Amino acid sequence: MKNIKIFKKPLYQYSLFLPIVCLILVLIANLIQTPTFFKITIQNGVLYGYIIDIINRASGLVILAVGMTLVVASSGGTDISVGAVSALAGAVCVATLGTEETYRVPYIVAVLLALLIGIICGVVNGYLVSYMKVQPMVATLILFTAGRGIAQLVTGSFILYVKPEQFGYLGNFMPGIPVPTPCFVALIIVLITFIVLKKTPLGMYIQSVGINSRASRLIGLNSKLIVFLTYVFCGLLAAVAGLISVSRTMSIDANNVGLNSELDAILAVAIGGNSLGGGKFSLLGSVIGAITIQALTTTLYAMHVAADQLPLYKAIVVVIIVSLQSPTLIKWFKSIVPKVYTNSNQAVKEAK
């Protein structure tokens, strides 16, 4: 009986166990591959190094993962349009500012317009999913395919370049600050989201709706509105990620901004130990998941894997992690080790 108690909740059942292990594994792999991996230097007044690069490039993904986490938690589905929405928001921002030496409209106007576009996209997705009861993947597939098309329309199918130097601040560095700006943006978004979820009952509401939307309705929650709002928020954050992305390159290429980032965001949520079936979630887990993925990407680049082969390796990780949560696989495991299963079952009975 004694050892049963010790293993009552094994280490691997703690929700952040898997995400942290994944991150550590990737980092160890890096350390072996590149001994200088953890070295941080200052060049031209800014921090420089692999670690900084990972945190910098992970920022956009962290932002997307925050939105995706809430969408998954509330609806048990994923928003696959975030990459396209990023591209669209970026395109709107750049097209509004123009390609001359000076901005055509004040910078803040273009940013607000881009964020508004993100919100509108979120409204479309949220409306389809929560009020029209369309499957989340099908509903967001619409903008997944149409979003980039609209972005192309906005840019006239050209790659547009923004000339004023300040445009790059958001995606790179602010003058005199050695830490990349996207890190601050991601940090602020994560903190605000975290505080709102903790200081209002919203976090509890989202979990409640995701676990049992019918019971939640009878309790007095507006299940549909809650699901709707998570999609709107996800759209807004996709726009923020898009703004960072266009600022980083000082240009908009509607075909490439946010390409495949929806896959990364979903993967981040999964690696974060969150069930893609909805319900309980850990925001921190998704953040760690996002950083893990970027670390993985950077590692693969450092190992000289070609950019176009990268998705394969990511896909392998997705398969492994999603399989670990699959009830069928768990059942299969139990069937090939029936002895262990029956024993533990008996143990549970005895314990009762």
Kindly list the residues in this chain that would bind other proteins in the complex (CB under 8 A). Answer: 199-202, 204-205, 207-208, 211-212, 214-222, 279-280
Rank residues 157 and 345 by Cβ distance to other proteins and give the closer one: 345
At its nearest, how many Å lie between other proteins and the CB of residue 332? 20
Rank residues 176 and 338 by Cβ distance to other proteins and give the closer one: 338
**Token output for 238:** 């996709």
At its nearest, how many Å lie between other proteins and the CB of residue 194? 14
End-to-end CA gap in the chain: 12
**DSSP per residue over 47-73, as a string?**
EESHHHHHHHHHHHHHHHHHHHHHHHH
Which string of b and e fits 90-100 if b means at least 16 CB within 10 Å?
bbbbbbbbbee
Q: Other C-beta atoms within 10 Å of 334: how many?
A: 14
At its nearest, how many Å lie between other proteins and the CB of residue 210? 9
At its nearest, how many Å lie between other proteins and the CB of residue 72? 14
At its nearest, how many Å lie between other proteins and the CB of residue 166? 38
Give the H or E element holding residue 146. helix 136-155
Rank residues 211 and 284 by Cβ distance to other proteins and give the closer one: 211
Give the up-direction half-sphere exposure of residue 34: CA atoms within 13 A in the CB hemisphere: 18
Rank residues 173 and 205 by Cβ distance to other proteins and give the closer one: 205
Rank residues 39 and 217 by Cβ distance to other proteins and give the closer one: 217
Let me know: does 228 contact 128? Beta carbons within 8 Å.
no
